[in-house]
Structure 1
């Protein structure tokens, strides 16, 4: 399992537009990516215009499918235009312990 934490910051005055554009992007992920189990955007309560996106993908194949999908190619430019700077991205591998 692969987890991602992405930290976008919207440009001042663009938070609502960014959130609307992201909602379209998230709908595409949920409708077209069976290997994705979580794709959520969280708005900071303490830092203006700051967000964290949490994503969980089943494996490398699911992550590759996400990155190369047509819906992401169409939606990335729609969200990117509302950002103040390049996003900070952290990628994690799940630590497995015990039986599930």
Structure 2
């Protein structure tokens, strides 16, 4: 069963470009090394300038677990922590069909 993830990330004022650069590097690693990741897309709110959402799709729970355990994901944590304005809000979704 596919698993969807929506992560809402609030970024500190003026830190958007730095956040986007860090995330772009992370996304390259995810796409290159995780065949079970079907989508990993950063989006930016049209109404809240410092709010981003990551839209993720994994083929199964094993693929999602692998993603969270990778060295590059763990290494991105402290970098992202320096630009975020709070803890991410993460919602997990089960695919239908």
Gaps of 5+ in 2: none
Gaps of 5+ in 1: none
TM-score by length of 1: 0.92
TM-score by length of 2: 0.95
Structure 2 counterpart SS, 1:8: strand
Residue of structure 1 equivalent to 2:35: 34
Residue of structure 1 equivalent to 2:90: 89
Q: How many residues were matched structurally?
A: 96
Structure 2 counterpart SS, 1:84: coil
TM superposition shift of 1:8: 0.1
Coordinate RMSD, CA, aligned = 0.8
Residue of structure 2 equivalent to 1:68: 69
TM superposition shift of 1:77: 1.6
Segments of 4+ moved more than 2 angstroms: none
